[in-house]
Structure 1
């Protein structure tokens, strides 16, 4: 994979001011006696909008550090993919263009296989089980693998919109029989598990960048997508996708990462409080994410999308072919055994 050439941080900071956001010069922080700090702004390029759970989980870190640890830092946040596309954000944080990025597990597919298993269908039956998994010993092992593969520093995972929603422009899909030959957007960047799941339901997976999805539906390149309600609603897809189906197959976590050199440079006495604050902030973001999931389902309905709730028997029809794809996922059988155990 072609990597971005490592640019000068000075060049980046100069260019970033053209975005119309606050200047990024190092702040002059007046600290009370006994307070600690780091007089170096941390730059975060995020794909979520300001106020979204994935944005809040980074935005809250300096506030928690100040309130609970008497530590002052500044994180300059550029939401809504202002600095780069999804893949560009991950390349940028590895190469030092900026310090923090976050994205869904599928976007990491071209960089590391550490999190492939998280895209397995019907892996997490409930929100509670999903949230337990992201702080498990297994997850810490996957963190270590990702840090070696990319390299970077993993921050705590935050909920990335809850469970995906099937939506399409053609007809209501009650069972996989209704998905035959429907062209469905699949994650861009080599997410084979995502494609296998859609194929198991009879759909035609069509890789397409998120930013091209709306026009892709308008032009008939794709007929639908399998995306969390929050993003489906915010991007206005209810206007062009009249049919939705709640198939509780894929819970999505948002992986948050920091540039390895930034982490190494951070003062030693700030690192542990920083990670504690990041976990608190991620927990807050996940709690909000869980709360608003149904609100965005309701909003999609209000905006014109008819959302179908499959019966238990119909869910079983979605589940059986999806689970059969686990064997062809390319994931280490020993890892699958641990997941099932």
Structure 2
């Protein structure tokens, strides 16, 4: 073997040795928003490196608590999980469940998530304390309620057992809205609605359609109270052990996937609603007026106070920065 051939062979073997397979789990189906984001990220990583990404949609590795444990243990390299499921682990992340804080406008939301100091500077430090590298947060769409009976005011939610994620502030949210909040893992929600153990739940419209929540409820109510947010994280030890080149490549892939998912969501709410009404024409859809929303908006003050009570000075500081970041985008 010539010297140059030997060098080429050695370089090839080194490249092969450095190529790794990384595991990435998320909370939705491959065709849902998190799956579309993950697929774009995978495409970018594999196009710009020798690494391979294995994707694990919801249910393949257990519930959300399972995939978080696997990520913290280093079994998974990446995980996409809503702050709704990390609220007990990272109390400050519950700020996303203060009602009527986030705008519903997709363009404003995208700009907020791109530029927010709270999201891009303060949150990474908080997540790092739990062994997690926060890579990206992004919105998934307006959250709407599905119930058995119409909801026009908090009184209509009285004694309604309403499924919420296992998140302390979301419990307070629906308590303030007049319901009986019932924390349940996602896997038990459809059956719970079917059997009457619970009578309501909330999710973005695409998920109501995808998970067929309309089959086991009769009314969709959009009160404009929230926009579902999710976070992509890496195991911090894994991420810190990467070369600067690989870290930059991951960040670039996250940025491309973010732009892709913001664009992908344009019109998704309306398209999903059309599919629901086509599948079930008897489904009632109510979009609350400003007057009807007023008592729900008033209840948000109580939830905000609970958030500060749960998180102390760090939560207060984060909330103030959150509001300043939002004002910069919406004004």
| Interval containing the TM-score (normalised by the shorter chain) | 0.7 to 0.9
Aligned partners of 2:257 and 2:320: how far apart in 1? Answer: 32
Question: Which of the residues 49, 64, 78 maps onto 1:100?
Answer: 78
Tell me how far apart the structure 2 counterparts of residues 340 and 258 of structure 1 sit (CA, whole Å): 27
In structure 2, the residue matched to 1:3 is none
Contact 1:154 1:258 survives alignment (8 Å): yes
Deviation readout 1:195-235 (Å, 9 max, x if unpaired): 11211121110111110011111222111111222222112
What does 1:215-254 correspond to in 2, within 5 Å? 215-254=191-230
1:39 is aligned, of 19, 30, 41, to 19
Structure 1 runs of 4+ aligned residues shifted over 4 Å read 35-38
Deviation of the 1:41 alpha carbon: 0.4
Aligned-partner Cα distance in 2 for 1:213–1:315 = 26
Determine whether 1:281 maps to 2:257.
yes
Say if 1:37 and 1:65 are closer, same or farther in 2 by CA, change over 3 A.
farther
Higher helix share: 2
User: Structure 1 pair 336/257, CA: closer, same or farther in 2 (3 Å)?
Assistant: closer
- Tell me the C-alpha RMSD between the 2 structures: 2.2
The answer for the alignment partner of 1:5 in structure 2 is none
Preserved contact between residue 90 and residue 127 of structure 2 (Cα < 8 Å): no
Aligned counterparts of 1:36 and 1:279: Cα–Cα separation in 2? 27
The aligned residue for residue 284 of structure 2 is 306
Aligned match of 1:147 in 127, 136, 153?
127
Match of 1:27 in 2: none
C-alpha distance in 2 between matches for 1:262 and 1:317: 47
Between the aligned partners of 2:233 and 2:317, the Cα distance in structure 1 is 26
* Count of aligned pairs between the two proteins: 303
TM-score scaled by structure 1? 0.82
Q: In 2 relative to 1, CA 217–44 (structure 1 residues): closer, same or farther, beyond 3 Å?
A: same
Q: TM-score, normalised by structure 2?
A: 0.84
Equivalent in the alignment of 1:334:
317
Deviation at 1:193, TM superposition (A): 1.7
Equivalent residue number for residue 142 of structure 2: 163
Counterparts of residues 42-121 of structure 1 (less than 5 Å)? 42-65=22-45, 70-121=48-99
Q: Distance in 2 between matches of 1:66 and 1:199?
A: 46
